[in-house]
Amino acid sequence: MLEWPTLVPLPVLVPLVGAGLALALARHRRAQAAVSITALTVVAVTALAMLLAVQDVGTLVVAVGGWDSGVGINLVADQLSTLMLSVSSAVTLAVLVYSVAQGAADGDDGAPVAIFHPTYLVLSAGVSNAFLSGDLFNLYVGFEMLLAASFVLLTLGGTSARIRAGSTYVVVSIASSLVFLTAVALVYAATGTANLAQLPERLDALDDGVRLALQLLLLVAFGIKAAVFPLSAWLPDSYPTAPAPVTAVFAGLLTKVGIYAIIRTQTLLFPDGRLDDLLLVVALATMLVGILGAVAQTDIKRLLSFTLVSHIGYLVMGIALSSQLGLAAAVYYVIHHITVQTTLFLVTGLVERRGGTTSMDRLGGMAALSPLLGVLFFVPAMNLAGIPPLSGFLGKVGLVQAGVADGGTLPMVLVVAGVLTSLLTLYAVAKAWNRAFWSRPSTVGREEETAAREEEVPAATTAVTGVGGVEVREDAARQARGGSVLGDDGSRVTGALTGAAVDTAELPVDARRLPAWMVAPTAGLVALGLLLTVLAGPLLAVSSSAAEELRGRAPYVEAVLGDGTAAGLAPVGGRGGAEAVGTAGSAAGPGGEGGDR
Amino acid sequence: MTGVTTAPPAVVLVGVVFVLVATGVYLVLERSLTRVLVGVILLGNGINVLFLVASGRAGSAPLVGSSEPEDMSDSLPQAFVLTAIVITLGLTAFLLAMAYRSWQLHGHDEVQDDVEDRQVRDRAVRDETSGSYDPDDSSDDRSDTGEDAEGADRTVGDTALRHVPGSGSRPAGRRDGGPA
């Protein structure tokens, strides 16, 4: 009989081994896809098993290499880790199936993108490593794994647009990593350890000023990765250029790894909540600036990127409240947001495929063209905006409750801003829905933008053709410049007239069916989003008890270092300090059954 | 842990960290990817030296049996540094490849503005009710935005994006040349 902790390293190991295999099988497309899908299925099953095991037997700890805790590196799977891991592995698997189907549909045999699968698996391993790491330096390594993989995925094909977007992304990411590395060095200088279980006690013993400096450094590093407002400008700039599945998995996971790191350090390492007010202000700015940016966009991908930034504000708000209820709602909201944001980007990929563009100026009548696509977009869009009874609504209600329970001026301002952001999100996605899906298709595109957007070749084409794609696009540009000629031929879908769809424009619209295996994972994720609503009760119970564990701090330390080692650790103070006990009982949230755990 | 509290950090090392990080930050703020690359290397090395400062007083080699544990250097930061060096090497290689690709495509390796951002800004220029844009206030020297405003009614082949006044011999915007 295997012990439960044996499972813990698997989500890191399996994708890494899979990546090696996939690289060796670069010439055998089907085998490569099979290896990747198998590896990620194993990860998803493992994560789910660990989630259940942790509920049963408590935190799982593995000392890697057999070194004692405090000397070697630990992998720690507690409730928060396993919850994040389960959702992220489900999402990565779905996106992988989507991209395999996209590759098959485009007939990319022999194309120079054999690197996609190995890189994608390394990304997945990096995400798992970050979630499971029990060591600050290992967390850094996890970040680097996923970042290095994301660099490759973002610049896949090396086209002009992607190199431009990639430059910003790579430089900003490296800068944040260097800040993080500096923070690790200073933490080690101050405490003599990088182990997350040993740090709480030693950090508590430090001078206040030193501790504040370390906390700020870590917050800046994670804030860049999580795209928190003043540090978020890189995100809408770089994400929309990547292939649809890549953007989807980035949007779902990468910023949330940053959020996870913030939750972990804010609760475990710096429980006194001295920066909570700062975080609340930052959350406010993130919400409002992000959503106002989204309202101004005409491209669906960019609109979604801005809403992604905006909704990071909700998560930071939950963390900053640092009450039981606030943390529980934040954890639930993370899960909801990973699922919904990924789904929306995948659907946008389908829209781009069907309509030839993601610009709202040139899309129209998509709902008539493909009712299924309409449903697939509509449900997660409403979920994102927080229409009852969907999971986005439940998460927001939880956060609002937490804000009201706190009662301070700043939290109340945040509550108002949160509701306002929710309304503006509704406005933004409704605008996208109206213009792209519901309106009558217009036949005359805006010509000046047509020329400017000549680079928007559908992701798949660009990825596949690589250097060769340049010629296709030059061709496309020429056609687009003579846009009026093309624009008058009376086709229904304007997008198909632009250079973007040059390779498919000659086909009759009905011939460009959506591949079933691209629709299936998207539909699966839509269903997962709905499932989050149906299972809101148990899920809130889990997130609530995860929040309790986080706020206690001692459970984590004792699980790693042994019983009695955390006797002197104070629990997380919370903003008001005294409110901690008061709200613990009302943590049930909208699900109504969370408080009894 | 052993050396942490016993000795003050070596002033020379702290000075080296300061110089490397300061020059690194300056270079990372440049627009040319090659300079950013050099900046990243300097920054990475500066932080690696910072780890040596963090490890405390220097001692004998940390090999079991060679000397007393109290006299040994702290080996954990050295392991950190080794890992960080490997990671920085990989990232450097990637940045170099990206700078090269950028040079292949554009003939230079300067990071360009976001085209969509420019379009949003151009819309703001055209919209007379929008007071959110002031052409004189633009710090973007790459495109002469005053002319962009006049060119609102340009025809398709000659949008603000294709034709950037004042950019000289540098290929403007997002032209896709093949490999140079």
Confidence of residue B148 (pLDDT cuts 50, 70, 90): very low
The answer to whether the Cβ–Cβ distance between A167 and B98 falls below 8 Å is yes
Give contacts of A155 with chain B, Cβ < 8 Å.
98, 101
CB pairs below 8 Å between A and B: how many?
Answer: 128
3-state secondary structure of A186: helix
CA dist., res. A98 & res. B70, Å (int): 57
CATH of domain B9-59+74-111: 1.10.287.3510
- Extract the tokens encoding B99: 């700078």
Residues in chain B: 180
Q: Which of A164, A297, A447 to mutate to test the interface with B (most CBs of B within 10 A)?
A: A164
DSSP string, A191-233: HS--BTTTHHHHHHTS-HHHHHHHHHHHHHHHHHHHT-GGG-T
- Give the span between the Cα atoms of A284 and A413, in whole angstroms: 8
Report how far apart the first and last C-alpha atoms of chain A are (Å, whole number): 29
CA distance A594 to chain B (A): 42
* Chain A: closest CA distance from residue B136 (Å): 22
Say yes or no for a CB contact (<8 Å) between A160 and B174. Answer: yes
Per-residue pLDDT of chain A (597 residues; tens, 9 = 90+): 467 888 888 899 999 999 999 888 888 888 888 899 999 999 999 999 999 888 888 888 888 877 777 677 888 998 899 999 999 999 999 999 988 888 777 765 545 567 888 999 999 999 999 999 988 999 999 999 999 999 998 888 778 888 888 888 999 999 999 999 999 999 998 888 888 888 888 888 888 889 999 999 999 999 999 999 888 888 888 888 888 888 999 988 999 999 999 999 998 888 887 888 899 999 999 999 999 988 888 888 889 999 999 999 999 999 998 888 889 999 999 999 999 999 999 999 888 888 777 777 777 777 777 888 888 888 999 988 888 888 889 999 999 999 998 888 888 999 999 999 999 999 999 888 888 888 776 544 444 444 444 444 443 343 333 333 333 444 444 444 433 333 333 333 333 333 333 344 444 444 457 788 888 888 888 888 888 888 888 888 889 888 888 888 888 888 888 777 777 777 777 665 434 433 333 333 343 333 333
Residue B114 and residue B135: Cα distance in Å, rounded?
18
Q: Is the pLDDT of residue B146 over 60?
A: no
- Do the chains contact at B117 and A299, CB–CB below 8 Å? no
Residue of B nearest to A303 (CA): B116
Question: In this predicted structure, what is the pLDDT of residue A491?
Answer: 36
The helix (run of H) or strand (run of E) holding residue A76 is strand A74-77
Most distant CA atoms of chain A, gap in Å:
79
At residue B7, the pLDDT reads: 58
Interface contact A299-B116, CB threshold 8 A: yes
At A582 the pLDDT is 37
**Residue A459: its pLDDT value, please?**
39
Average pLDDT over residues B80-96: 92
Cβ-based burial of A209 (10 A; exposed 0-12, middle 13-18, buried ≥19) = exposed
The alpha carbon of residue A254 is apart from the nearest alpha carbon of chain B, in Å, by 18
Any alpha helices (H) in A296-370, and if so which ranges? 300-321, 324-355, 366-369
Q: Do B159 and A186 touch (CB under 8 A)?
A: no
Facing A452 at nearest CB: one of B43, B159, B178: B159
Q: Which residue among B53, B83, B178 sits closest to A189, beta carbon to beta carbon?
A: B53
Q: Answer whether 0.90 is exceeded by the pTM.
A: no
Inspect the interface and report whether the beta carbons of A193 and B117 lie closer than 8 Å.
Answer: no
The beta-carbon neighbor of B33 closest among A160, A167, A186 is: A167
Q: What percent of chain B has pLDDT over 70?
A: 63
CA angle A73, A74, A76 (to 5 degrees): 155
Q: Of the candidates A340, A343, A368, A342, which has an alpha carbon nearest to the alpha carbon of residue A354?
A: A368
> Which chain A residues are within 8 Å of B121, Cβ to Cβ?
none
Do A186 and B106 count as a contact with CB atoms less than 8 A apart?
A: no
Domain locations in chain B?
Answer: 9-59+74-111
- pLDDT, residue B145, reads 41
